[in-house]
Structure 1
Amino acid sequence: MSDAIPVFGTPDGEAPYRPRPAAYGLLSDTRAKLAVVRIAEETGTEHDLPGGALEAGETPEAALAREIVEETGLALAGTPRLIARADHYWIKPDGTRLLNRAHYFAATPGGDIGGKIEDNHTLVWLAPEEAIGLMRHDAAAWAIGQWLRR
């Protein structure tokens, strides 16, 4: 993994962007498909890697495990491996401006343990090349490319 952290997106300069540490998983199944969450928003459907923001005092690894369960119901098997970091500027649908400071982990999915709480998130398994074209953030698409090169 390179020490340089790429930055995606461009701040619009209208208001400050709040730093948001986050963790995302690149989980593959036995068919070499990648776990992707399909997110139903009022503005339409988006796709992202499972994961999200760190809570206060949480490590990226702990946030990853929690977010995977919340979004997919899956546990992680084994220890996730950090494969990339990236920053990206993002304006949420509610207008919140974020500088997402993402950690991307290669991880192995375990079984479904329940616990899924995000009703607008649906787990889908896609070929990585297809997932790249569907990602709502360029940083996530880039991370999939890094994962493919591992």
Structure 2
Amino acid sequence: MIRRFGETPQAGRTYTRRVGVYALLPRGRSLLLTCQTEPGPDLQLPGGGIDPGESPITALHREVFEETGWLIASPRRIGAFRRFTYMPEYDLWAEKLCHIYRARPIQRMGPPSEPFHEAIWMDTADAVQLLGNDGDRHFAGLHEQRL
């Protein structure tokens, strides 16, 4: 069973399952994160949905690049969680199934190409406190324990 974080699903509400991939991107004691500035600032692990016909690893590379401008190497799946949330950019109530990978950020190619995203390096201990959802904070905390 996959652990759930966040709000309990609301009875009678229909949720659309959205499968996504997200990355812990450590360098020393810091993590590379993305801040989504619209609809309101939200600090996140870089990542997002897997497009139809796309493999999880291809989606991870694409999403990290779009949201941070960085290329990554050696992704390794470390776990998964699910959460139920409203996604205003899609006007959708979603059951997000989030697969978490650890990868190495290897080269910054430029700014994020995804609108309203900023790449941010942050100390892991701070990220554990400031990431915008419980699942992201949980996996950042597991990484912090390894430091």
TM-score by length of 1: 0.88
Letter in 2 for 1:107: A
Which residue of the other structure, out of 31, 34, 43, is the alignment partner of 1:34? Answer: 31
Q: 1:81 maps to what in 2? A: 76
Q: 1:125 maps to what in 2? A: 121
Letter in 1 for 2:54: E
Does residue 105 (structure 1) correspond to residue 101 (structure 2)? The answer is yes
Root-mean-square deviation (CA), in Å? 1.6
**Range with greater deviation from structure 2 (7-16 or 121-130):** 7-16
Q: 2:85 maps to what in 1? A: 90
What whole-Å deviation, never above 9, does each CA across 1:42-99 have from its counterpart, x for those lacking one?
A: 3x2111000000000112211110001101111112x201111101111112541111
Give 4+ residue runs of structure 1 displaced > 3 Å after superposition: none
Distance of 2:56 and 2:143 partners within structure 1 = 18
How many Å apart are 1:14 and its aligned residue?
A: 4.3
Distance of 1:39 and 1:19 partners within structure 2 = 21
Does residue 5 (structure 1) correspond to residue 2 (structure 2)? The answer is yes
Could you list the runs of 5+ residues in structure 2 that have no partner in the other structure? Answer: none
Q: 1:24 maps to what in 2? A: 22
Secondary structure, aligned partner of 1:100 = strand
Q: 1:5 to 1:149 in 2, by over 3 A?
A: farther
Distance of 2:140 and 2:83 partners within structure 1 = 15
Count of residue pairs the alignment pairs up:
144
Q: 1:50 maps to what in 2? A: 46
What whole-Å deviation, never above 9, does each CA across 1:104-145 have from its counterpart, x for those lacking one?
A: 001000112247321311111111121122122111111212
